[in-house]
């Protein structure tokens, strides 16, 4: 009997073709979503968190005497909590106080210690709290620091990009992904530009500093992640919160895909790109499912 561990189940997510929201596009424009909610932790964040933890174990920055510490807008926190439980680590997370109730329940279920930061300060506020904890915690913590940890983009360089290349048989012309930590766009974008030099990498971000798209950053007004490399993407597409929500709802009702608002934002950006093309193969990285936002304004 073949067996595998939980972390072996991360990755190799399906590529699903959109046919409903794309019905008005030119016939030779294909759009696919990389369905990252199929990961065991329910989001794309399983990939970088696995890489961060395995790399830290390998070089002995992380051991049984240390607690994993990081800030998160929600999904990375769930990945830390899940993988930490599976590998026997204590996990301390700093999360904005306004994350969805579903995410709070999931973190509690995995046994993570959760500290809630000022909701008005968003993910940047959580970052600052985590930094202070790391500075004063001595050897108690392994500060994973997903926003500045090179293992984050490496995960997408080594897994997400080769999957997209293989699943499209090298035909991919455009890749669209949201900007949060920026690990997905930087890691996957770099590798895909090596594999398909003509590929266009498109980054999606909220249209303004005040927004309701959980997981995404408006770079001009935020703490810019150290791993962010704007030279990787050829274009940045601003998306309004209302548009992201509307497209997420359309994906549920016209495609049968229950996704989160950051996925709605990414597909909205991809539709903008697609409207300018006569032909192409567009892949949109959809970070998570919509079930962890059922209590939020997204589904009201």
DSSP 43: B
3-state secondary structure of 204: strand
- Between CA 94 and CA 103 the distance in angstroms is 13
Q: Are 283 and 168 in contact (CB under 8 A)?
A: yes
How big is the CA angle at 116 (ends 300 and 137), to the nearest 5 degrees? 155
Find, among 142, 162, 131, 138, the residue nearest to 49 by Cα.
142
* Cα 265 from chain centre: 12
Q: What are the E-state strand segments in 191-250?
A: 200-206, 235-239
* 3-state secondary structure (DSSP) of residue 260: coil
CA pair distance 267, 252, nearest whole angstrom: 12
Rounded Cα distance between 54 and 159, Å, is 14
Angle between helices 241-250 and 261-274 (to 10 degrees): 90
* Beta pairing partners, 95: 116
Catalytic residues: 45
Burial class, 276, CB count within 10 angstroms (exposed 0-12 / middle 13-18 / buried 19+) = exposed
């Amino acid at each position: 009997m073949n067996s595998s561990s939980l972390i072996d189940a991360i990755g190799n997510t399906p590529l699903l073709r959109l046919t409903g929201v794309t019905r008005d596009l030119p016939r030779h424009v294909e759009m696919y979503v990389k369905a990252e909610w199929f990961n065991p932790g329910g989001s794309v964040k399983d990939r970088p968190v696995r890489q961060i933890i395995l790399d830290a174990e390998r070089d002995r920055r992380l051991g049984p005497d240390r607690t994993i510490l990081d800030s998160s807008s929600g999904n990375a926190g769930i990945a830390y909590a899940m993988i930490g439980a599976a590998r026997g680590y204590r996990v301390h997370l700093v999360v904005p106080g306004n994350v969805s109730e579903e995410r709070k329940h999931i973190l509690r279920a995995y046994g993570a210690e959760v500290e809630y930061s000022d909701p008005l300060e968003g993910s940047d506020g959580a970052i600052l709290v985590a930094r202070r904890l790391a500075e004063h915690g001595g050897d108690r913590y392994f500060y994973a620091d997903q926003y500045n940890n090179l293992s984050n983009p490496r995960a997408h360089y080594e897994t997400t990009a080769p999957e997209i290349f293989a699943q499209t048989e090298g035909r991919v012309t455009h890749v669209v992904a949201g900007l949060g930590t920026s690990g997905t766009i930087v890691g996957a974008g770099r590798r895909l530009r090596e594999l398909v030099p003509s590929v266009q990498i498109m980054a999606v971000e909220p249209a303004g500093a005040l927004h309701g798209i959980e997981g995404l950053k408006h770079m001009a007004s935020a703490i810019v992640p150290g791993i962010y490399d704007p030279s990787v993407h050829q274009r940045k597409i601003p998306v309004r919160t209302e548009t992201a929500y509307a497209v997420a709802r359309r994906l549920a009702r016209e495609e049968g895909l229950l996704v989160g608002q950051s996925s709605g934002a990414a597909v909205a950006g991809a539709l903008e790109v697609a409207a300018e093309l006569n032909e192409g193969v567009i892949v949109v990285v959809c970070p998570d499912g919509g079930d962890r936002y059922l209590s939020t304004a997204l589904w009201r």
